[in-house]
Structure 1
Amino acid sequence: MKSDDVGLFGPGSVTWKVHEEPILLVAGLRSLYLQALHPRAMAGVAQNSNYRTDAWGRLVRTATYVATTIYGTTAEAEAAGLRLRRLHARMRATDPATGEEFRIDEPDLLRWVHVTEIESFLDTARRAGLPLTGDEVDGYYTEQRRAAALVGLDPQTVPGSAAEVAEYYRRIRPELRMTREAAETALFLTAPPLPWKLSLPVRVGLTLGPPRWAYFGIAGTALALLPAWARRMYGGLGLPTTALSADLTVRALRLALAALPRRYREGPMQQAAKERAARLTATPLPG
């Protein structure tokens, strides 16, 4: 492994430009609301995951995986993908509608999770104010085929442009619906148990506080950022005013996050990747 390997993407990629944005924490939640609308994918999660008892641990593991694929060395990204493929290969679930047993690593399910995740990252970043050209948008989707390959997908079967993502959503929408599991998951995502250090003691009659209200705001914004058709499935209105309100909120949140010191905005893996990239571009000192 080369010490200065910049990984699957690197500093000149659209991927690094998009994932520079701390606002993507909202995008991750948006993708989970969207993923829950696929009954088969939701059944796979519900029957194999301990997300209700270890919500924050699962969130940290997912964030670490994404950070590794984006900012880790090539070897680190490939190793993370191999671990995930081996984990998925052991998992099975039962379709709630047909009773059929299926594998978690079915390409159709992996593709759904991949597309909803990267589309959420890109859409949230753009609506928060990150300027991207049409070519950069398509470039991001094309680059993310490398991440799709890590989980076992054939890159050529994964949407590689904005038009292909839109067509993918158009084709898959008839398969999506609001199930009981989706509704329960959405409720859990909106009001999960907070880490104990942030929770106020129930014994004094305080079940809500600033951390809880702050999280409600983030969850509400993530829901409002969903496509209009997805908001309607959740019982909301697909009105332009809802989208406009979400845009204003996420732009304000992006500005607030940008004011934080770098050590709070960037994780250690991101900082290490930038240091490796800087070493590659450093001019050697003369003789």
Structure 2
Amino acid sequence: MSTRWTEQHVPDQRGRVAVVTGANTGLGLETARVLAARGATVVLAVRDPAKGRAAAARAGGDARVQELDLTSLESVRAAAAALREAHPRIDLLVNNAGVMYTPRSTTRDGFELQLGTNHLGHFALTGLLLDRLLPVPGSRVVTVSSVGHRIRAAIRFDDLQGERSYSRVGAYGQSKLANLMFTYELQRRLAAHGTTTVAVAAHPGASSTELARNAPAAVRFAADRLAPLLTQPAAAGALPTLRAATDPAVLGGQYYGPDGPGEVRGHPVVVTSSPQSYDLGLQQRLWTVSEELTGVRFPV
């Protein structure tokens, strides 16, 4: 098999149930499209059901829609309850949805928007669905991070919600760093639990999506001018997620990204994240804080 992994390498997904957050556009839609084309039942978990239905039609196959607003723990709990009722087993949860570089605002629960959406909402959703994955052989939780986890990134426990000082870039970096720390701590807990469920992370490099729509105007202008040179299509950006989700050789705790210079573009391979992302003490502290903030406890 070629080492240049493409969507053609995705194995048969018939009989599998996959939940993909933020799947009405961009990376999430491309991920859902490929999984559905390979035979999976794919649930597009999206904030706007009407847009979700249109996306499901584009994805084709057995694509369904579940309303999910990650900025509301009430919505997360309602979505998890609906998914649990509809699907006694879940093979794959892809935590893909996200926001980037937003002006400071808060979720309905008072969390800083980027941390609340990108990390805490997914933390809660995973915890509420995990017992549907644990009995399923080879089930996976895939969480999408970013090269941005290296940029001005730290878990600012003394100002986690950016109330005293806020940086769009720093808050995004914190949320994407949190995605990785969550994955690594979850994998450690899964391994200790003795399940075959694994937690894996991925990042898309620089992909042409709507994610940067909240960036400052100067950043958007530069990005638009440089996009043809520095970015890759959403279909290519989704490949690390798809490999993490489906490649039989994947191991828990791995992190997939493009193989090109700077991990900006290319074919998906195992990559490494920043040194601080592997800090066990920080991972465990973040986990405890996330449980306290969301009120969600995991069965592992």
> TM-score, normalising length from structure 1?
0.30
Per residue, is there more helix in 1 or in 2?
1
Relative contact order (alpha carbons < 8 A, sep ≥ 6): 1 or 2 greater?
1
Per residue, is there more strand in 1 or in 2?
2
> TM-score, normalising length from structure 2?
0.29
Bigger radius of gyration among the two: 1
